[in-house]
């Protein structure tokens, strides 16, 4: 009388253990997903560093071109085609310079 109940409970236990370890959403699948999340997190960090480096490079190039143009205009008096160059001379500065 107790044997069939014992076998039924043992069978139920084995079935639940199987589903826990090997079934959908089981421990092995969870471990696999956690490893995948860790790998994806590392990849995301690598790509974020790459994106920041590229963004810094774009800003550097934009500012570099603007800075280069500003220096060329202010120190060398260069103008673009179609622009007119007007030089203002400060008379006080001219008197102080040797």
pTM: 0.46
Q: Is residue 46 part of a domain?
A: yes
Q: Is residue 96 part of a domain?
A: no
Number of domains in the chain: 1
Domain of residue 39 covers 2-78
User: DSSP state, 23?
Assistant: S
Q: What are phi and psi of 60, to 5 degrees?
A: -60, -45
pLDDT given at position 93: 59
Give the pLDDT confidence of 43-96 residue by residue, as tens digits: 999 999 999 999 988 888 777 777 778 777 778 878 888 888 777 888 775 555
Give the pLDDT confidence of 15-42 residue by residue, as tens digits: 887 777 777 777 778 888 899 999 999 9
Q: CA-CA distance, 73 to 86, in Å (whole number)? A: 11
């Amino acid at each position: 009388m107790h044997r069939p109940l014992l076998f039924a409970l043992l069978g139920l236990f084995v079935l639940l253990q199987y589903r826990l370890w090997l079934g959908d959403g089981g421990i092995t699948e969870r471990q696999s997903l956690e490893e995948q999340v860790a790998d994806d997190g590392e990849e995301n960090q690598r790509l974020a560093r790459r994106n920041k480096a590229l963004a810094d490079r774009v800003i550097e190039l934009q500012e570099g071109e603007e800075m280069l143009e500003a220096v060329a205009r202010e120190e060398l008096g260069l103008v673009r085609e179609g622009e007119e160059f007007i030089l203002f001379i400060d008379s006080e500065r001219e008197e102080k310079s040797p």
